[in-house]
Structures are given as structure tokens and as C-alpha cells.
Structure 1
Amino acid sequence: MPRCHLVSALPLRRAFSHKAPCARLSLSPSLLRPGQSPRALLPAPRHKALGRYSPPPSERLVSTATTITPSPTTTTDLPPALEPYSPPKTGLLSRLPTSWVPYAELVRLDKPTGSYYLFFPCLFSSLMAAPMVGASIPSVVGTSLLFFAGAIIMRGAGCAINDLWDRNLDPHVTRTRLRPIARGAITPFQGLVFTGTQLLAGLAILLQFPPSCFFYATPSLLFVAAYPLAKRVTYYPQFVLGLTFSWGAIMGFPALGVDLMSNSAALTAAGLLYSSNIAWTVLYDMIYAHMDIKDDAKAGIKSIALKHDAQTKQVLTGLAITQIALLAGAGIASGAGPAFFIGSCGGALVTLGIMIKRVNLKSVKDCWWWFVNGCWITGGVMSLGMAADYLVRYVEEGDEDSEKSTA
């Protein structure tokens, strides 16, 4: 039998390059059309047999000029990737050594508004207590500066305690996910040690005041520690924050030598001023809470903003009225004059009214603006009214003393 040499058109050509027996191809004449050569029934050459594949019409792709609309399941519907942490490039923190930056962020050194909110009640009580005991201007200024230093330190300690409590919640909130403990730049143990150092520094400031201040200040530490826990068990953690941040409304009286236990007028004034500041704290922190309202709902964090989202403006209005009424009561109890009621009470009424009307609670940026600037607008006019009342009464008392000495 003759032998033939097969060369396959497939890539396995080398496997068939050996000589192998093959059968002679026989073609039946019945398969040929008239005039057709038998060669036509042989397989086509490789370059003709392997033509371009053309899919059936049902599987053909659309033209490249056609715009393809992505389906709802494509990645275009996924939330944008969150930006990673980057060290501060500007501001105070950018000038600090790299190892200090996480601790400065922990105490919110770059966001001092909370320290101002903690300081204002101390200033209010100092200015209200000063005319009741005839305190000198240098004494009031020195006391206020000590309070300011203490506010910065204790606010930092409060932030550290808050972040230690919230170390498992902060990573789930957009605004807080890059805080030092949440992102792992500071371990919980390091945060605890740093908090203890801050509390010792706060104690050093406190010891500069009269000894009675130590006993008045100590209970406030319970509220400092309880506030982060309140967010887990109640929709009104802002009330607990108010109890904490307003404590300075009591401290100004003993700091200037007023014995609250023996002076009923001063005790009444301090109590009403403290209550007024609680209402103010809940008011501004309710606006602040609206910045995190969506993330808080997902993370299971409770707040007054979530509880009364649909009635926020009405609640804010009620808080403002309560704050001003209690402030006026404190002025009456302390014997304040017209400058206090016009400047402090009237100023608070106007500034709070404007803020409540204009704040856009659906805008994070707008809520932050009013939280920061409302501190100085409302706190500033209240301080100026109290300072004016103190100076007027201080001058009047000086005139009375000079008349008595000449008589």
C-alpha cells in the first residue's frame, strides 16, 4: 500500500510529520456536479479554510460609536473611595514634630471651638459674680485667664476620653474615621496615659483657685466620663454634654470668693445661669449633631438630631426661649442692671433667632459654620452685656466709695 506524507493545518503539525499509512481517497462520481472537478470536494487550503469568525446576528456587538448605558449593578453606583489620612500641610499642626501631631489631633488643638464653648460659661459666671463682691478688674482678668487655660486642658481631656469610648464607633463615621485612635496612630493605652497627664495638668490649674473650687469642680469629672456612654443609651446625650460644658457657670462664683452655701442670691443666680447654659449647649450641639445624622443612624449612635429631625427648628426655638428666660432670671437674682438685660439677654435673643432661621440643617458645611461662628456671635454678645453691667456697677460703686470718703 502506498504511503503518503500528511502535513496538518493545525498547531500539532510536528506530531504528524512522520510517515504514516493512509487510505486512498475514493470519490463517488455521483457527488460531482456536471463540469465540476473532483478537486473541489477536497478540503480548502489553510489560508482559505480559516477565515474570520462572524458571530450570528443575535450575538454581534453594537457599533463602537454606540453609547453603552451601564446597568444598575455596575461599579458606577458604588460610593466614592474615602480619602486616606494625610498629615496636615498648613496651620498649627503642620509646625509640630511628626510624633506630636496625633496627640494634638486627639485634643482637637486645630479645632478650638469646643474650648471656647467650655470657656464662655466660666467667663459668664466670673462677670456675674464680680459685681456681687466688688472684685477688681485685674482680679477678674486673672481669673478669666486661668479659666481659659483650664478650658483648653480639660476640653482636650474630654476629647481623649470621648475617643477612647468611641474607638470602635468612630471608624464607621465619615467625619471621625481618621481620628488618631480610630485610625491606629495612638493606641488606647497611650491615649489613656495621655489623658491622665492632661487631668494632672488640669489639677495644677485648679489649685491656683481658692480651695473651695476643688470641691465644686470634682463632680464635673463624672459628667465628662459619662457623656460618651450617654450616646449609646439615650437620644439626649446633648443634655449630658450640657451638664458637663456648663459647669463653669458655677465655678466663677467660688473663684472670686463668693460662698454659694451662705449667699442665697448668688446660689440662685449660679443655678439659673448653669441651667441657661445647659439649654444653650443642647441648642448648639443639636445643630452640630446634624452634620453626622446619616452616619450616626448607620452606626447606632443616638442623638437629639435623630430623635427630632423633623421638628428641629421648633426644638431649637424652644431651647433659645428657655435659655434667655433662665439668663434673665439669673440677672434678676444677681442684681444686674439694664446693660445686662439689653446686651446679654437682648443680644442672645437676636443672634439665636437669626441663627435658627438661617441655618440649613441639611448642609454639613452650613451647620459647621453656624456651630463655629455662633459660639462667638452669641457668646460674645452675652459676654459684652455682662462686662458692661460689671463695669457700670464697678464705676458706680467707686463713686459711692469716693462720696463716703469725702463726707
Structure 2
Amino acid sequence: MASFTPTRALNVLARPSSFARTSLQIQHIANKRWSATGPSPSTRAPRSHRTRGFGRLEADDYQPSYEPPKSGLLSYLPRPWIPYAELIRLDKPTGTYYLFLPCLFSTFLAAPLTHPITPPSTLIATSSLFFAGALIMRGAGCTVNDLWDRNLDPHVARTRLRPIARGAISVQQAVPFLGVQLLAGLGILLQFPASCLLYGIPSLILVATYPLAKRVTNYPQFILGLTFSWGAIMGFPALGLDLLSNTPALISASCLYASCVAWTVVYDMIYAYQDIRDDAAAGIKSIALAQEANAKVFLASVSAVQVALLAGAGVAVGAGPVFFVGTCGGAAATLVYMIRKVDLKSVEDCWGWFKRGAWFTGGAISMGLLGEYLARYFGVYEERETVERGARFTEDAAS
């Protein structure tokens, strides 16, 4: 039997998978259709050059070729580093924010439950570690995604110039780079209490398998939500709370996790509308395609579920009025505004609201949770309860 070597493993990864072969068949069919009606997929115009809405391409619309960044963070990097920075989306931090925010939510929600209450210094240190972990693991997730999609990305206008899709990084280069990212992520995870390993490692299964979801279901955003929302659990063990022995905390963490999954479906459905026509042509399944006829009703329904689950997380741990007004009310108000304003037929508007939504809705939730933590930390609720008990005692004495 032939020995198994790293080179052999890389050669296996480099072969087209069954999904890749299917995508190549789709490409062959699409090329024949496009050759009769206009430019081929490799020369189609970017979405920003198309007519408003989902209009057809003009025959003389072509996609620009790749140009190295001339501004922004990536423009300061050495030229050989740029493809790797693009691979981890270093120039597009919105995904990192969406991965970090559930970690922040759970940290703020868990902090008042510890005895003694978690001090602000620990809260800041824990949140900083979570941000570093989100930055690394989001990059690893992008690398996994681009490896799986290396035969699909060239056929979608928005993704055709990604490093692996355009050939700037090979599979043989991307796999070791992924290994370095995962080791760095493990290094961050080891900075937390040992119990976090038990809660954190299972998420790697979701990171590795999410890119396959778009090939088998119209709702890959749900699988993405399971992946991106894992941090909604991690804040509790990070602050020393054992979920398996603390029923209220377990219920609260479960509700928060499910709420974040619903939120992911909302923002990533808006994101998916950028690719709705290319996805249809390439045979990629998408929630945008599945819910195209009643998109905003669907978004509103999932948002209502999100806010209800968020309220459930507060009820489970006896949260006060600051939580329900600031966190739940803030989430509801920002979601309603976003769903009313977003133009799902405009690529630029969908991208804009996807970026703004991270700190628009996510910021409202965070501020509400921070307000609840501060109210607990400074004893605001205790003073209120003391005043109420005193008022009741005076009334009883007078009667």
C-alpha cells in the first residue's frame, strides 16, 4: 500500500471534487448560453456596472481585470502578502464584527451572574481576547470557504477575483496557511479557562462544513448562523460559569445563541441579494432565491423571532428593565428601520446595510447589555428595591 504523505494529501485536495465537477458542468452549459447572447462569465460586467435592479447585461459590458489595492490597509503591505490578506478579508472587517458580537453579547450577559460580579477590567480583557479570536477564526473560515468554492467563485461577479479563484494562491499554499490560522486560533482559545476548550472545539466542525450547505439547501444562512453565533455560548464559560450545572445560565445562553442564529439569517439574507442572479446561473442554492417573492415579510418574521429569543435570554436570568428597553427595544427598532429602508434590488444598498447592520443592530444590543451590566455592577436595582421596600413599609405602618 502506498504511504500517505503531505504531498499526496495536497494532490487529493487539488483534484476537483464531485461538487467541483458539477460546477464545471454548469459552467460548460452556461458558457454555451452566454456565447450566444453576450460575453462569457469571465468577462461579464461587475454588478455595479449593470442596469438598476436585475437588468440584462449589454453586449459590450466587461469585467475589469484584477488590480492590486492602491489605498487602504492592504496597499501598505508587501506585494507577496496581499493575496493572503485578501484571502482572510483583512480589508473587509464586517465579517469579523459579526463573528465577534455574539461573543460580546454573551460576555456582557454573563458578567452580572458571577459571584462576585465580574469587574470592568476582566470584562475588557475577555472581550479583547474574543476580538482577537474572531479576527483569526473569521480568516480561517474564509480560507475554508474559498477552498471549497474554488470552482464556483470564478462564475460569480463578486467573487471571481478572490485569490484562489484567480490563481494568486494555490491549494498547496492555502492549506498550510489554514493550518497556521487554526494553530493561532487554538493559541487564543488556550488563554481562556480550560472548560472553554470543551465548548469551543465543536464549532470547528461547523466552520469546515458550512461552505457545503449552499450546495444542498436553499437556507445555508441557517448553517452560517450556527457557526457565527457560537460565541453566544462562549462568554459564560470564559467568565467561569459552568452551563451544565447552572440551569438559568444554560437557558439564557441557549436563547441568546438561537437569537443570534436568527440575526445571522437576517443580515446574510440581505447580503445574499448581491449574488441572486449569479447564484441562479451557477446553480448555487440561496435563501434570496427561495424567498424572493416575499423577502421583507420573511425578514420581518425572522427578526421578530430574534427579538423574542433575546427577551427569553433576559427572562431566564432575571434581567431588569434596562435589558428589555435597551437590548430588546434597541434590536427591534433598528431591525424594523433596516428592513423598511433596504432596497433588495440594489447591490450597493444591500452591501451598505450589511456593513451598517453589524454596529447598528449589534451596537444597540451591546449597549443595552452593557447598560444592564452597569446597573447590576453599581447596584442600581438593589437601591431601587430598597426604596420600594421602604415605601411599602411606610404604607403598611400608616394603615
Aligned residue among 64, 87, 99 for 2:80: 99
Aligned residue among 109, 124, 134 for 2:105: 124
Does residue 1:83 correspond to 2:64, yes or no?
yes
TM superposition score normalised by structure 1:
0.79
Distance in 1, Cα, partners of 2:37 & 2:90: 43
Distance in 1, Cα, partners of 2:357 & 2:236: 26
Distance in 1, Cα, partners of 2:58 & 2:343: 27
1:317 is matched with: 300
Aligned partner of residue 228 in structure 1, secondary structure: helix
2:32 is matched with: none
User: What letter matches 1:280 in structure 2?
Assistant: W
Deviation of 1:207 (Å): 0.2
Does residue 1:143 correspond to 2:108, yes or no?
no
Q: Per-residue CA shift, 1:278-320, capped at 9, x if unaligned?
A: 0000000000000000100011111111111111101100011
Q: Per-residue CA shift, 1:261-281, capped at 9, x if unaligned?
A: 100000000000000000000
Deviation of 1:398 (Å): 11
Which structure 1 residue ranges, 4+ long, deviate > 6 Å from structure 2? 72-76, 397-400
Q: Per-residue CA shift, 1:216-272, capped at 9, x if unaligned?
A: 001101111111000101101000000000000000000000010100000000000
Distance in 1, Cα, partners of 2:37 & 2:189: 60
Aligned residue among 364, 368, 372 for 2:347: 364
Q: What runs of 5+ residues in structure 2 fail to find an aligned partner?
A: 1-35, 40-56, 387-399
2:245 is matched with: 262
Distance in 1, Cα, partners of 2:199 & 2:279: 34
Does residue 1:377 correspond to 2:360, yes or no?
yes
Distance in 1, Cα, partners of 2:108 & 2:71: 36
Distance in 2, Cα, partners of 1:214 & 1:82: 45
Distance in 2, Cα, partners of 1:119 & 1:101: 24
Whichever of the two has the greater Rg, that structure is 1
Aligned residue among 90, 95, 102 for 1:109: 90
Does residue 1:342 correspond to 2:325, yes or no?
yes
1:211 is matched with: 194
Deviation of 1:129 (Å): 0.2
User: What letter matches 2:134 in structure 1?
Assistant: A
Aligned residue among 162, 185, 209 for 1:179: 162
1:275 is matched with: 258
Higher relative contact order (CA 8 A, sep 6+): 2
Deviation of 1:369 (Å): 0.5
Q: Per-residue CA shift, 1:122-180, capped at 9, x if unaligned?
A: 00000000000111111111000000000000000000000000000000000000000
The answer (yes or no) to whether the contact 2:87–2:163 under 8 Å persists in 1 is yes
Distance in 2, Cα, partners of 1:74 & 1:296: 18
The answer (yes or no) to whether the contact 2:375–2:381 under 8 Å persists in 1 is no
1:46 is matched with: none
Deviation of 1:188 (Å): 0.8
1:245 is matched with: 228
User: What letter matches 2:232 in structure 1?
Assistant: A
Distance in 1, Cα, partners of 2:62 & 2:324: 52
Q: Whose helix fraction is larger, Structure 1's or Structure 2's? A: 2
Does residue 1:165 correspond to 2:157, yes or no?
no
User: What letter matches 1:78 in structure 2?
Assistant: A
Deviation of 1:210 (Å): 0.1
1:38 is matched with: none
Distance in 2, Cα, partners of 1:73 & 1:237: 31
Deviation of 1:341 (Å): 0.5
Q: Per-residue CA shift, 1:42-62, capped at 9, x if unaligned?
A: xxxxxxxxxxxxxxxxxxxxx
RMSD, aligned CA = 1.7
Q: Per-residue CA shift, 1:318-375, capped at 9, x if unaligned?
A: 0110000000000011221111110110011110001001100000000000000011
Aligned partner of residue 261 in structure 1, secondary structure: helix
Aligned partner of residue 99 in structure 1, secondary structure: helix
Does residue 1:295 correspond to 2:278, yes or no?
yes
CA 1:211–1:84: 2 relative to 1, 3 Å: same
TM superposition score normalised by structure 2:
0.81
Aligned residue-pair number:
330
